[in-house]
Amino acid sequence: MTTTAQHASAPAAVRSHGTPVHATLILAIICVSYFMVILDNSIVFTGLPQIRSDMGFSETGLSWITNAYVLVFGGLLLLGARAGDLFGHRRVFLFSLVVFSLTSLLVGAAQTQWWLIGARALQGIGAAVLAPSALSLLTRSFAEGRARNRAMTAYSAVAGLGAAFGLVVGGLVADLISWRAGFFLNVPVGVVMMVPALRFLPETGRRRGHFDIAGAVLATLGSTALVLGIVNAADFGWTAVLTLVPLVAGVVMLGLFVRVERRAAQPIVPLRLFTGRERSGAYLTRMLCMGAMMGFFFTAQFGRASTTGHRCRPASRSFR
C-alpha cells in the first residue's frame, strides 16, 4: 500500500527507476515561458529611445515604463505563488500565459503614454503569476536529486541568457523594425506554449487557505508611492508637496504592511524571514544589486535617447 501510494504521488515526469517521460518537453515549456518574461524585461530598455521619440515622454515619465512593471511584479509576486497553491499550479500557469500574452499585445499596440504605462502594469501581473508557477511546476515535475538539479540548472541559465539576449535582440529589433515588435512576439510564443502545456504539464493538488490581499495591496501601493516621491523630486525638488506627500504616504502604507503581516494568519511575507542576519544580508545585497543594474540599464538607454537627435513632442503633453 505504501509503495503504491508513493508511486501515485510521484512527479508526472518521472516513472519508476527515474526513467524520464516527456521530461525534456516539460522542461522546455517551463524554460521558454520563463525566458519570455526575462527577455521582455530586457527588451524594453533597448526600446526606450524610440518610445521617447514616438510618444513624447519626459525624462522622468520615461522611467514609469519600467517602474510600472517592476513595482507590480514585485508587489504581487508572492501573491502569485500563493495562487498556485490554492488553485493548482498548472491552471494558474496557463492563466498567467494568457494574461502575459494579451498584455504584451496591449503594450505593443499602445497609442498613448497612459495606455503604455497601464499595459506595462498589467503585464507585471501576468509575470508575477507566471514566474512562481513555472518554478513550482519544475520542482514538482522532477524527482529530488540529479534530475531536479539539472532542471534547476537549466532554469537558472535561462534567467541569465534572457537578460543578456534581451539587450542584444531588443536593440536589433528596435533598430531594424520597431520597439513594438518585441512585445508582439510574445503573443505567438505564448499561444504556442499553451498547447503542449495543456497536454504535458502535471496538475498539482489544491491547498486550503486564503490570500493576504491587504498585505499585497499595501506592499505594492507603498512601494509605488515611495518611487513616485523620489521621481517627483527630480522635477520639483525634495521639499515640494508633490514629493513629500507620496513619500509620507509610502512610509505610512509600508508601516501598515508590517503591522498587517504581524497579525495575518497566512502573511504574504512572514516577518520571521528577516530574523536571520545572513538571510537579511542576502536580501539587502540582492536589492542593491538589482537596483543598481536596473538603474544602469535605464541610464545607459536614456543617454542613448538624448544623443540620437530625435525630436520629442512638447513637454506639456508628456507624462509626469
- Condensed to tens digits (0 to 9), the pLDDT of residues 110-119 reads 999 999 999 9
Q: Which of 130, 146, 101 is nearest to 201 (CA)?
A: 130
pTM of the shown model: 0.77
| For range 145-149, the mean pLDDT | 83
Q: Which of 112, 123, 170 is nearest to 304 (CA)?
A: 170
- Condensed to tens digits (0 to 9), the pLDDT of residues 194-248 reads 888 888 887 766 777 677 788 888 888 988 898 888 888 877 888 899 899 999 9
Q: How far is CA 195 from CA 25, 190, 191, 200, in A?
A: 12, 9, 7, 9
Q: Domains for the chain: give ranges and CATH numbers.
A: 20-209 (1.20.1250.20)
Distance CA 148, CA 138 (A): 8
Write down the pLDDT at residue 251: 93
Most confident of 60-69, 223-232, 246-255, 263-272: 246-255
Average pLDDT of the residues of the chain:
78
Q: Which residue has the higher pLDDT, 75 or 112?
A: 112
Q: How far is CA 44 from CA 12, 101, 210, 211, 297, in A?
A: 36, 15, 34, 31, 10
